[in-house]
Amino acid sequence: MERRFVSLSVTALHSAHANLRGRMIDFNGWSMPVQYEGIMAEHRVVREGCGIFDVSHMGRIRIDGADAPEFLNMLLTNEFASMKPGLARYSLLCREDGGIIDDMVIFRLGSAEYLAIPNAGSYEKVLTWLNKWAVDFQGLSVVPLRDETSMIAVQGPRSEQIMERLTGLDLNGMRRFSHTQVSIFGRNVLVARTGYTGEDGFEVISESGDAMAIWEALMGEGCVPCGLGSRDTLRLEAGLLLYGSDMDESINPLEVGLTKFINFNKDFVGVEALRAQETAGVQRHLYGLCVDKKEGIPRAHQEVYSNGELIGETTSGTFAPSLGIGIALALLSSDFEVGATVEVDIRGKRVSSTISQLPFYVKKD
């Protein structure tokens, strides 16, 4: 049989990962580091110090033109026409039936200019969806920027101190979900107070040619390189959903607890279906589950039972290093109160699990 080799995309920091002996995996067609020294150690670094992640595989799409605010308001569940430049907002992109095409953060760069950050695996379909609707708007540009830009996440309680040294700015007053243009070693970059770990942190978007110098400068300040493995344990402890696991086009935002990111006071693609769903009520809900580590570690796509009846399955699961227990998100067809017990089928054994308040972990002040 002829063997076929798939060429993976690489980021501008690929050589750095190789030099650091990062363990590389195929992540949505990208060669990305899953870990360096180890997931547990990298997890602790972000909770206690400062870790850096190469997240350049994620999308960057610029939307600009006089109609950009109206365009985004028509397509996204959240409100963007009234959002001020210098701010960012989380939102969902939905189909006409309310199914989630992707979730993303949108930065408003100027009065008629925005930057969208879709997920790596959704990048092409998001571009296709935006371009499909853009034809109805005059003078609107949808410009893919992933190839010429890079993105580094700087996360952890020491991130502010480190970013202040690199930028020479006082960042104490920079609030969550805000962003600004700064200079790092003469390189113009966008710095946002955003992240996906449940800790304080920043994300730095630069020209790809400048990424290596920024990465090395961050390491020089004591930041520890971290892989996608710890990024997943961190986000799950923080109760943050992952597109493709906890939500997809077969799931609507109401089912997974994202109603607060829907502005029902405006019209957008999918709003009629979501309004009808809100009126009728949803038939399944996303819950957090906690499992004693002695009983096993939950993973995605494990069946969940209540009183012997199959009621759904886990969508994500892992060992939570900060808590010392197994945790999972699960989409279930029954209503439960926090503290109720269900059973998760872990490798053929039904293990008692407790419905938990989300997030599982809240960062220390």
CATH topology of 14-58+148-237 equal to that of 253-356? no
Q: Which CATH number fits domain 253-356: 2.40.30.110, 3.30.750.24, 3.40.50.12500, 1.20.1250.20?
A: 2.40.30.110
Coil, strand or helix at 188: strand
**For residues 201 and 208, what is the distance between their CA atoms, to the nearest angstrom?**
21
Give the model's pLDDT for residue 185.
Answer: 86
Closest alpha carbon to 316 in 257, 256, 245: 245
List the CATH code of the domain at 14-58+148-237: 3.30.1360.120
Coil, strand or helix at 93: strand
Bond preceding residue 359 cis, omega within 30 of 0 = yes
Write the Ramachandran bin of 296: left for phi over 0, alpha for psi from -120 to 50, otherwise beta. Answer: left
- pLDDT tens, residue order, the chain (365 aa): 455 556 899 999 999 999 999 999 999 999 999 999 999 999 999 999 999 999 999 999 999 999 999 999 999 999 999 999 999 999 999 999 999 999 999 999 999 999 999 999 999 999 999 999 999 998 899 999 999 999 999 999 999 999 999 999 999 999 999 999 999 988 899 999 999 999 999 999 999 999 999 999 999 999 999 999 999 999 999 999 999 999 999 999 999 999 999 999 999 999 999 999 999 999 999 999 999 888 999 999 999 999 999 999 999 999 999 999 999 999 999 899 999 999 999 999 999 999 999 999 998 77
The highest-level CATH class for domain 61-122 is alpha beta
Closest alpha carbon to 137 in 112, 105, 111, 104: 112
Crossing angle between the packed helical segments 211-220 and 159-167, to the nearest 10 degrees: 120
Closest alpha carbon to 94 in 231, 239, 256: 256
Coil, strand or helix at 72: helix
Q: Are 143 and 83 in contact (CB under 8 A)?
A: no
Q: Would the pTM count as exceeding 0.75?
A: yes
| Domain residue limits, the chain | 14-58+148-237, 61-122, 253-356
